[in-house]
């Protein structure tokens, strides 16, 4: 993301999101393109939420809920030792 930001915006620093408008002469009807650094964005969001004492974000809630489900889900009986 840092190299894309430097190449297209002239800013030599990382960023979470870059958006690019579509080519107006292009044959496809696209609104444009977007580049997202999900890992960097999630890490920064977690830092800010902790600093500002905010509740968990949607991504963290989904991850936590999934981990809980995985721990409590019954295992396949064929794979369990008897």
- Domain limits of the chain? 1-36, 39-72
pLDDT in tens, 4-55: 999 999 999 988 889 998 877 766 777 888 998 877 777 788 888 889 998 8
The residue to which tokens 């430097």 are assigned: 6
How far apart, in whole angstroms, are the C-alpha atoms of residue 47 and residue 60?
12
Residues 6 or more apart in contact with residue 74 via CB below 8 angstroms: none
pTM over 0.85: no
Query: Nearest CA to 45 among 36, 54, 33?
Result: 54
């Amino acid at each position: 993301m840092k190299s894309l930001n430097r190449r297209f915006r002239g800013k030599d620093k990382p960023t979470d999101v870059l958006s690019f408008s579509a080519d107006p002469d292009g044959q496809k009807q696209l609104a444009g393109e977007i580049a997202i650094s999900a890992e960097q964005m999630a890490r920064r969001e977690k830092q800010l939420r902790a600093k500002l004492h905010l509740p968990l974000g949607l991504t963290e809630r989904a991850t936590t809920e999934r981990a809980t489900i995985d721990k409590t889900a019954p295992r396949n009986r064929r794979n369990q030792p008897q």
